[in-house]
Chains A and B, each alone.
Chain A
């Protein structure tokens, strides 16, 4: 009888130690901190392929998102799409907005529906999906001497026109990076691809946001122009 009790107690003890060990391992071991995110898992987010508005930074997005698909179901324009295992790998099931197929119109419905805080509720003006970059070699208005055109499409189409996109005295558009939301309406409606020399290239691309690199983008722009 005593031996049985002893065995039972030993089992209990083993169970408790194993449980504590496992729970400790679970909370402490996190190899994602040690690996280099650029080499291990490459995020499919790139130029013109962006996260929905209000998204947290890309390193934490796939960790927080539980792939419930509510943002895509609620989107009235059906512009939110999802990666699958072919295109996304570990990121499969997370939402994205392909600006060239359909831009985000900033209705801000998806933001209020996210259950895990991967899309944080915010005002329209505070959205930072990316930053629009104008390629001045391709833009028809910047190449006025060659094309003789003066389109103001991006300026008139922007939801924050006059704030995020401004035009100078020659009606050439330029972007104020501080206020650009990266919704991609300007890139979607750019008419530069119809000019025969451009071969279907659009003048505006939306770069996914990396706040450190914005100064570099400005420098590149200056070099190009």
Chain B
């Protein structure tokens, strides 16, 4: 089977979207500092584009929980990300998060190393935890914030730190120690692809929880499947689309499996209009 042509691959658009989001987040300290253009301020904890405010759901909820105080702009700012998560699931993680962009970039860079490159590129997942670990991470995070009494994820969230460190570098010409967290998250990719995103990211857990009944899902067509299992090896989240797991909570709609499938057995559909819900565990192989 021939691979899909370049511009018909969905992942190409995903990479482009990731790059645009990364440039916006990393570039806005520069525009603010050097040219005094305040059109875009902030980063993924809370970004303001003109008069449109977007507040990250987990951080907003944490600040409400600790301060016990409702502020209308923060509630209104949470509407857009929450609706996006309700409709499309963890789409923020795979299509916008700067950590995903950076880990794709590090994957590319590691692939260029002459001897080890190929081994690193097609590495198996060394650490495999039960997927339920994601929920424990969310609960532990919330419990710790309540015990300490100050929101925690607001300062150690890796996607937020990417923006903050660039801002620190541009504005005050130095970088804080927190950059270690970002580097650590990127290095953990060597053990298992997206180890942090899979098992430890509380923000990803909230978005996944919101998108449990999401509309945009990857539909697995058992009649078209040849059973080559390329999608299983390709999936960065370590789930198995060939068993119909792409409709579970843990899928983040990154469309890697859609592009890699040689027979187009996997496709994006709306859940209501989709053909059938595939029960996990049933695999059909064409004769």
Interface stretch among B102-110, B145-153, B239-247? B145-153
By a CB distance below 8 angstroms, the chain A residues around B238 are none
As a 0/1 sequence over residues 1 to 41 of chain A, the CB contacts with chain B under 8 angstroms (1 = contact) are 00000000000000000000010011101111101000001
**B183, chain A: closest CB distance, angstroms:** 15
As a 0/1 sequence over residues 66 to 89 of chain A, the CB contacts with chain B under 8 angstroms (1 = contact) are 111110111010100110111000
Known A31-B147, A74-B32, A115-B74: A60·B69 in contact at CB below 8 Å: yes
Is A144 interfacial (CB-CB < 8 Å)? no
Are the C-beta atoms of A116 and B178 separated by less than 8 Å?
no
**B130, chain A: closest CB distance, angstroms:** 16
Is B168 interfacial (CB-CB < 8 Å)? yes
Is A100 interfacial (CB-CB < 8 Å)? no
Is A117 interfacial (CB-CB < 8 Å)? yes
Is B60 interfacial (CB-CB < 8 Å)? yes
Known A31-B147, A32-B149, A72-B167: A67·B38 in contact at CB below 8 Å: no
Are the C-beta atoms of B171 and A67 separated by less than 8 Å?
no
Q: Which residue of A lies closest to B152 (CB)?
A: A90
Are the C-beta atoms of B60 and A116 separated by less than 8 Å?
yes
Are the C-beta atoms of A116 and B149 separated by less than 8 Å?
no
Is B29 interfacial (CB-CB < 8 Å)? yes
By a CB distance below 8 angstroms, the chain B residues around A115 are 46, 48, 53, 55, 60, 71, 73-74, 77
Which one, B63, B148, B149, B177, contacts A65 given CB within 8 A?
Answer: B63
Known A67-B154, A74-B32, A115-B74: A93·B164 in contact at CB below 8 Å: yes
Are the C-beta atoms of A63 and B67 separated by less than 8 Å?
yes
Are the C-beta atoms of B41 and A66 separated by less than 8 Å?
no
**A55, chain B: closest CB distance, angstroms:** 13
CA distance A66 to B46 in the complex (A): 8
As a 0/1 sequence over residues 9 to 35 of chain B, the CB contacts with chain A under 8 angstroms (1 = contact) are 000000000000000000011001100
By a CB distance below 8 angstroms, the chain A residues around B48 are 70, 113, 115
Known A82-B168, A116-B71: A63·B143 in contact at CB below 8 Å: no
Within 8 A of A (CB), among B30-50: 32-33, 36, 38, 41-43, 45-48
Known A26-B143, A63-B151, A78-B33: A68·B42 in contact at CB below 8 Å: yes
Are the C-beta atoms of B67 and A66 separated by less than 8 Å?
no
Is A189 interfacial (CB-CB < 8 Å)? no
Is A62 interfacial (CB-CB < 8 Å)? yes
CA distance A31 to B146 in the complex (A): 7
Q: Which residue of B lies closest to A80 (CB)?
A: B171
**B43, chain A: closest CB distance, angstroms:** 7
Is A42 interfacial (CB-CB < 8 Å)? no
Is A64 interfacial (CB-CB < 8 Å)? yes
**B54, chain A: closest CB distance, angstroms:** 9
CA distance A72 to B45 in the complex (A): 14
Are the C-beta atoms of A64 and B67 separated by less than 8 Å?
yes
By a CB distance below 8 angstroms, the chain A residues around B188 are none
Within 8 A of B (CB), among A164-210: none
By a CB distance below 8 angstroms, the chain A residues around B151 are 63, 66
By a CB distance below 8 angstroms, the chain A residues around B46 are 66, 68, 70, 115-116
Chain B residues at the A interface, C-beta cutoff of 8 Å: 28-29, 32-33, 36, 38, 41-43, 45-48, 53, 55-56, 59-60, 62-63, 65-67, 69, 71, 73-74, 77, 139, 142-143, 146-151, 154-155, 160, 163-164, 167-168, 171-172, 176-178
Q: Which 6 A-B pairs have the closest CB atoms?
A: A32-B149, A117-B71, A68-B46, A84-B176, A70-B42, A63-B66
6 A-B pairs (CB sep. < 8 Å)? A32-B66, A65-B154, A67-B164, A78-B33, A113-B48, A117-B71
Chain A residues at the B interface, C-beta cutoff of 8 Å: 22, 25-27, 29-33, 35, 41, 60, 62-70, 72-74, 76, 78, 81-82, 84-86, 90-93, 109, 113, 115-117
